[in-house]
Structure formats: structure tokens, C-alpha cells
Structure 1
């Protein structure tokens, strides 16, 4: 429970940091928050609070009751409370970090796609050739599209799996990984703005005909709008993923697999899927290879950071326990 609290505090501190950065960046920025964002945020948080209170009342009602249905309800209540508690960490983090990403992306700093493409070339990767090769095999392209879009469902499914298998610490650990990786990602994207390989290379529609129509360009119009300097009102629930360097899909794929490390029967299939998903970030997501390498670095550095936090906490607890025995 103490480790759980430490991880929750980490998420809270990072969320507070994002809020402070939002306030600082918002001064003089062309990006403002649509008032509906605050209303929707308040509604979600109020709903979570109401659900949590109802579950506490249910727990009190069935306390001490050992009939099978009572035990089933208690187990379900425990899982839902874990989901609600961690959602209460995740929603404010997501709200504050998404706003920061928009504020940081609204810069006049030149896009860095050319240097990123040059780095790819120096390590022997040719994005156009890779796109054409994957597009020439329809089954390969469809597999890559499926893998790329699997990240969206993976996150809520992971939440449910960890919550209802009573891995509450692991779920909060994943929330901490989301928070820490968001800090790394935000710091890097603020220094290295980019629009992605599709925007830079501008392939013809025939070159990616077996991928989706907009492929890695779904965010481009939004990015250009906020970089134009014109007033932009952000509704957080309709935000686009603006970060291309580093690849956050790659970081997420690594972190999801790590979160499943004690469930090998699930971990290995998910790991295989996410290997394909990482490959898909190139032709489908429109990332440069160096974006993917940087995203892997974010994922691995995040895991190391969480491990260090937990090791430090365990060391402190052992020291305190030793002192109590003296």
C-alpha cells in the first residue's frame, strides 16, 4: 500500500507540474481552453467520486457476509474501486499533459523533419523505400494498420485486466509510467518540433494506397493551425496526437508489455503484437526511424525511473524497519 501511495504521489506531483507549466505557457499563447473542457472534466471527476462513494456504501452493506454472492460483489467492488481510483489519477494527468502538448506545439520554431530524415539516412534507413515496400504487399499493410490501431484498445483492456486480477499496485505503477513518460515526451517534443515523415516526404496517394487514406497526416492540419498563431480554442476531449518525435506509440508498446511481466500467457502475445505495432509506426504512423528509436528510449528510461522509485522506497522501508528493531 505504501508503494502504491508513493506511485500515486508521483503521478500527482507530475500532474501539478504540468498544470504549472500550462499556466506559464498559456500566458501570451494563441491556444486557449474551450470552457467545455472544464465542464467535461468536472463531470467525469464528479462521476468517479460518486461511483467510489457508492462502492464504499456497498462494501459496508456486505461487510462480514460470507455467502457466495456477497464475496462475488466484494471482489467486483474491489476491482471497480481500483479502476476508479486510478482513473482519478489518469484523467487530470491526461487533461494537463494534452494541454501542454498543444501549448508547446504552438511555436514558431522551425520543424526539424529535415535533420531527422538526415539522421535516418546516415543510419541507412530510407523511409520512402520502406513505405513503398510495405505498401506493395496488401496483407502486410493491413496487418500493420491493425497493429497500429491496437494501441487504443490495449490501454483500457490493460486497466481492466490489472484491476480485476487484483494487481492494484501494478495498475498504479502503469499510471506512474504514463506520467513519467509524458514528462520525457513533452520535454523532447518542445525542443524538437516535427510534423512527421508524410509531411516531409509528401508521398503520392498511390504510394500508400493499402494504408488508410490520411495515413500519418491526420494531425497535420491541426498542427498547422496552432502553429499559424491564429487563436485556437482547444476542447481536450477532441485533441489530436501532435507528437511525432519521439514516437509515443513505441513508448506505450514497451510499457504495456512491462506492465504484463507477471502474466506471461498474456505478455508474450501482446509483446509480439507490439513489435509489429512499432514497425507500423513507420509506414502507417508516419514516423521517422529516429522517432521510433527515441520513443523506445522514452519507454525504457521510464521503466528504469519507476524501478528506481520503487527500489528507493523499499530501501527506506527496510531501513525504518531495522531502526525499529534496534
Structure 2
């Protein structure tokens, strides 16, 4: 995992250098993320041989939360230099797929726009992408399921790489930008960020990335959908968290078309990415010597 992390950092640095995009090392957001990652790495090293259950839990939380945060941050940053190298959009193709599937995004959006309660619930569900991994990784640390926590991180990592590669060839602005015209009756959580930022990056008018205001620019495949599948799969073996994680992430999936401004085609692609990532990690882990088998259902 250390080697893979180093390769990811190197690739991200190369992408940023190639496109002339920089991250201000003295910006408050950069310093905060650097402090968090440094603290996590320090705790992981100091407690590498824990002498109590509390130290073990602290070590595992520092390791898994630190890695998950770093991977999420790198993935979001990577969308900027990758977007700068893209051309055109595949929105017409995605719209054709939705039409073939009889999915009416405008109708879905209008229902939410007409009901304030759905807007509040949808926003909360969409933002739960930050809550589910914290619950799962925290439970794995508490229950001494270190391998399961690492499995989620590895699957998330692989899914992010696949999504970024596909984004390079499948840029899209999303249905909010392409199907709605004029003032928006309801401003979704993701809004028009892809349509606003991608042209700026392509024209090299945007050179600085603020870590405190990052916006993931991957429209297709939907990474919220991929994440929901990954979180459900990771929590499924554990009876104590299975049901709440399932409910929360099903709600997130229902909110994704509007709040994430995603076509149904995006979501199908995102689910496929998650399944492929899980299969890849499962196969690799089975081939590694000394790797424990996947945990059975636990309380």
C-alpha cells in the first residue's frame, strides 16, 4: 500500500506540473490538511506496536482515517489537471442512454424543486458520503477488523483510479447544465460546477487549486454511486452497522440524480466501477500470502 500511495502522489505531481496547476503550500486549507495527515502518520508510527486496546484503536483510526482522507483529497485534486486535458463532452450520448432507459431527469428534478422537504433530505443524504466511511472505519478500528478497513480503502482507491481514467475520455457537464436553461428554480448541491470549472481549466485560465474549496469534476461515472456501493459492501459483513449504512446509502443513491446532477447512465457506470474495484481488490488480496479471508457476518 505504501508503494501504491507513493506512485499515486508521483502521478498527481506529474499531472499538476504538466498542466501548470499549483497548490499554494501556505494557504490555510493546505496547512490544515498537512497537519491532519502529519498527525495521523505520527500516531500510526508511534503506536505501531500498541500495548493496549485503546492504543490499537487509536493506531487503526489514525491509519485508516489518514489514508482515506489523503486518497480522497488526491482524487479530487487530480480531477483538475485531468479536466484541463479533456475536449468536448459526452452529454448527448448520456442523454440518449437515459432516453432509452425511460429515465426523465427533468421530471425528477422538478419534483424535488417543488418540495422543500425533499431538498433538505436530499442534501443531507448526498452529504452522507462523508459520514459512512467514518462510521465503517471507526467500527473496524473498535472491533479490531483492521483487514476490513484496509479492504474498503483499497477498493475506494482502485475505484477512484478507474473513475479518473474514464473521466479523461468521458468528460461531461451533467443534466443540470445541459437540460435546464435560464434561472434555476432550485440550486442543487453540485450546481453547475463542471460546466463552470472545466472550460476555465481547458483554457488554462485557472491555475490555482484551493484545497478548502475542492469540487470533484467527474460527472461520468458517478463517484457518489460508486462510493455508495463500496460502503454497502464494506459494511455488509457486520450486523451492527449493516442496516444503517444500507439505509443511508440507499438514500444517497436516490438523491444523486438531482443533488449530484447525474444522468442515470452516470450512476450505472459508477455502480459498475465499484463492482470492478471490489473484484480487483478481492482477487489481489486472495493472491497475497497471509491475507485473511473476507470476514463473515459479525455482530
Deviation at 1:171, TM superposition (A): 0.7
1:96 and 1:283 map into 2 onto residues whose CA distance is: 25
Deviation at 1:146, TM superposition (A): 2.4
**5+ residue gaps, structure 2:** 294-299
1:303 is aligned, of 278, 281, 287, to 278
Aligned to 1:201: 179
Aligned to 1:67: none
Q: Is the 8 A contact 1:14 1:179 kept in 2?
A: no
- TM-score by structure 1 length? 0.78
Aligned to 2:223: 248
Compared with structure 1, are the counterparts of its residues 44 and 273 closer, same or farther at alpha carbon in structure 2 (3 Å cutoff)?
closer
1:219 is aligned, of 178, 193, 212, to 193
1:81 partnered with 2:59 = yes
2:68 is aligned, of 87, 90, 106, to 90
Q: Is the 8 A contact 1:31 1:233 kept in 2?
A: yes
Deviation at 1:238, TM superposition (A): 2.9
Aligned to 2:35: 43
Aligned to 1:263: 238
2:86 and 2:166 map into 1 onto residues whose CA distance is: 16
Compared with structure 1, are the counterparts of its residues 121 and 207 closer, same or farther at alpha carbon in structure 2 (3 Å cutoff)?
farther
2:184 and 2:217 map into 1 onto residues whose CA distance is: 25
1:32 is aligned, of 17, 22, 36, to 22
Aligned to 1:5: none
Deviation at 1:18, TM superposition (A): 2.7
2:253 is aligned, of 278, 302, 311, to 278
Q: Which has the higher helix share?
A: 1
Aligned to 1:22: 12
Could you say what secondary structure the match of 1:148 adopts?
Answer: helix
Q: Is the 8 A contact 2:79 2:218 kept in 1?
A: yes
Q: Is the 8 A contact 1:15 1:96 kept in 2?
A: no
Number of aligned residues: 290
Compared with structure 1, are the counterparts of its residues 118 and 313 closer, same or farther at alpha carbon in structure 2 (3 Å cutoff)?
same
1:132 partnered with 2:106 = no
1:95 and 1:141 map into 2 onto residues whose CA distance is: 27
Aligned to 2:262: 287
RMSD between aligned residues: 2.8
2:85 and 2:232 map into 1 onto residues whose CA distance is: 34
1:152 and 1:39 map into 2 onto residues whose CA distance is: 21
Deviation at 1:54, TM superposition (A): 5.1
Aligned to 2:297: none
CA displacement, residues 95-114 of structure 1 (integer Å, 9 cap, x when unaligned)? 43333221101135012222
2:92 and 2:132 map into 1 onto residues whose CA distance is: 33
CA displacement, residues 111-132 of structure 1 (integer Å, 9 cap, x when unaligned)? 2222211221122212112212
CA displacement, residues 288-325 of structure 1 (integer Å, 9 cap, x when unaligned)? 1101000101111111112112222269999xxxxxxx
Aligned to 2:124: 146
**5+ residue gaps, structure 1:** 1-8, 64-73, 319-326
Compared with structure 1, are the counterparts of its residues 207 and 177 closer, same or farther at alpha carbon in structure 2 (3 Å cutoff)?
same
Which has more radius of gyration? 1
Could you say what secondary structure the match of 1:131 adopts?
Answer: helix
2:170 and 2:39 map into 1 onto residues whose CA distance is: 38
Could you say what secondary structure the match of 2:236 adopts?
Answer: coil
The 5-angstrom pairing of residues 6-21 of structure 1 reads: 9=1, 12-21=2-11
